[in-house]
Structure 1
Amino acid sequence: MFDELEKYTKQGNFFYQATDSLEEVCNAPSDQYGVFLVYALKRGRVELIYIGKSGVDLLGAVEGGEHISDGLRDNLVEGLHFDETRRKNSWPVQMLIEDIEALHVHWYVTYDGKFKDRPKYIKSKLLQIYQSIYGKTPRWNFSSDLT
């Protein structure tokens, strides 16, 4: 569905269950920026439920050589979600509520020495593709994520 992600050579994935420590299973880099896709595994089915990004807008912060927090790992583990609770705390609760067995998280570095694709732009593009196919955003995203 997202062929544009194939060009990114720095990428990875991990599985997360509600009883795991997100800090321990997350293998995304702390010092690089990009996007991540979260798939729910439930009753033998797989569903894309969230498209996220790291790196505050990046416009100038990274280009100017400054270090900013909110790398992929930081955002995945400490980023805010749902009722503005850190993902390491909100994801296991939401998984139990929705009876999700595991999450499969795929991450892609889109902004580094080789690529200069701003994560905010890539996330928006992926959400638009998803919406054009399904007529809505993934269920853990908000319609405001499209802007």
Structure 2
Amino acid sequence: MFKYLEKYKEQGDLEYSVSDNLASACNAPRHSSGIYLIFSDKLKLDNLIYVGVSGREGSKGEIIHRKDGLGGRIVKGKQFGEPRRNSWSKKMIEFGFEKIIVQWYVTYGEFNQDIPRVLENKLLNQLFNFKGKLPLWNKKF
């Protein structure tokens, strides 16, 4: 469904379980901006639970990178009212997920210059049109 993400040369994934240290598990770069997709247990569309971004567009259309990039956003960003290193484990237990898989894509870096928020909106719109709802952990788009 998201074939257009394959064009990004800098991409990867990481697995995270409740007992893992998120900073140690994260292999996303800390110098670029991009998008990340979170799946519960398996890389299947039905298991997609969140779509997030790092980096934002400035008032003149330029990219404003987070100081510690995509990797920093995944590790240090807040979700559910607290840092992800704490909140993800709690939510995984709440929903019965054994692990989550984070697929990440550098959309604005050395090889590509696509604003992450534009891609996030495109993905969330596609998902909403296809499934009639947003991923479990996304509140809005």
TM-score, normalised to structure 1, is 0.86
Deviation at 1:92, TM superposition (A): 0.4
* 1:114 and 2:111 matched: yes
What SS does the aligned partner of 2:110 have? coil
Deviation at 1:134, TM superposition (A): 0.3
Report what 2:57 is aligned to: 58
Unmatched tracts of structure 2, length 5 or more? none
TM-score, normalised to structure 2, is 0.90
Candidates 72, 78, 96, aligned match of 1:80: 78
Does the Cα contact within 8 Å between 2:32 and 2:65 map onto a contact in 1?
no
The 5 A counterparts of 1:1-147 are 1-41=1-41, 47-55=47-55, 57-59=56-58, 63=62, 68-82=66-80, 84-143=81-140, 146=141
Unmatched tracts of structure 1, length 5 or more? none
* Aligned residue type for 2:79: H
**Residues in 2 aligned to 1:25 and 1:60: alpha-carbon distance in whole angstroms:** 34
Does the Cα contact within 8 Å between 2:54 and 2:66 map onto a contact in 1?
no
Structure 1 segments of 4+ aligned residues over 3 angstroms from their partners: 60-64
**Residues in 1 aligned to 2:3 and 2:134: alpha-carbon distance in whole angstroms:** 18
**Residues in 2 aligned to 1:132 and 1:111: alpha-carbon distance in whole angstroms:** 26
What SS does the aligned partner of 1:125 have? helix
**Residues in 1 aligned to 2:5 and 2:128: alpha-carbon distance in whole angstroms:** 17
CA deviation vs aligned residue, 1:26-65 (integer Å, no higher than 9, x gap) = 00001111000000018xxx6000000001x23269948x
* Aligned residue type for 2:124: L
Deviation at 1:123, TM superposition (A): 0.7
